[in-house]
Amino acid sequence: MQIRLAIEADLPAIIEIYNAAIPSRLATADLEPISVESRRTWFRSHGDRYPVWVIAIGDRNIQSAQNEKIVGWISLQMFYGRPAYHKTAEVSIYIDPLCQGNGIGKELLSYAIAQCPKLNITKLVGFVFAHNAASRRLFERFGFTEWGFLPKVAELDGIDQSLVIFGKII
């Protein structure tokens, strides 16, 4: 497995993994699949300061990515869109459902945390549905603690769900 900076050609795989998370109602508040085109601006807004990384299995060569399969991704983005929060980033992580439970999330989160000092990021926040036990365990394993709780803030299939805000000082 290899973690690398995502390129725009990876966007279809990123969106496929994201869309696969929607039916579980565990990882996103989107209720319907999204399109690659609808996320191009989001992807392009990421860059050196707030990257998107993918984790892939197989071999990637310069000519073609045919032998590579992206099985997960992690992104950092500006927190709350205000300049005073410039050292805080929101982290999002998604793993191909067929690859979950194999340590891919741990590898991605470990990698992102290790990159934070180079990016001048000193705090990470993650938003996790309270009923998503696996993601809660992942963040807690890496020293994230509960910084906030929003009770019944989302409605998923007619059921009110709460959101936990996890945070970590790097």
CATH number for 89? 3.40.630.30
Record the tokens describing residue 63, joined without a space. 């000519």
In a domain, 162, yes or no: no
Confidence of residue 66 (pLDDT cuts 50, 70, 90): low
Rounded Cα distance between 17 and 58, Å, is: 17
Read off the pTM.
0.93
In a domain, 156, yes or no: no
Find the radius of gyration of the CA atoms of the chain.
16
In a domain, 161, yes or no: no
In a domain, 167, yes or no: no
Q: Are strands 145-156 and 159-169 parallel, antiparallel or unpaired?
A: antiparallel
In a domain, 42, yes or no: yes
- How many domains, in total, are found in the chain? 1
Predicted local confidence at residue 36, as pLDDT = 98
Closest CA to 156 of 133, 126, 131, 127: 131
Domain assignment of residue 9, given as a range: 2-126
In a domain, 142, yes or no: no
Predicted local confidence at residue 61, as pLDDT = 56
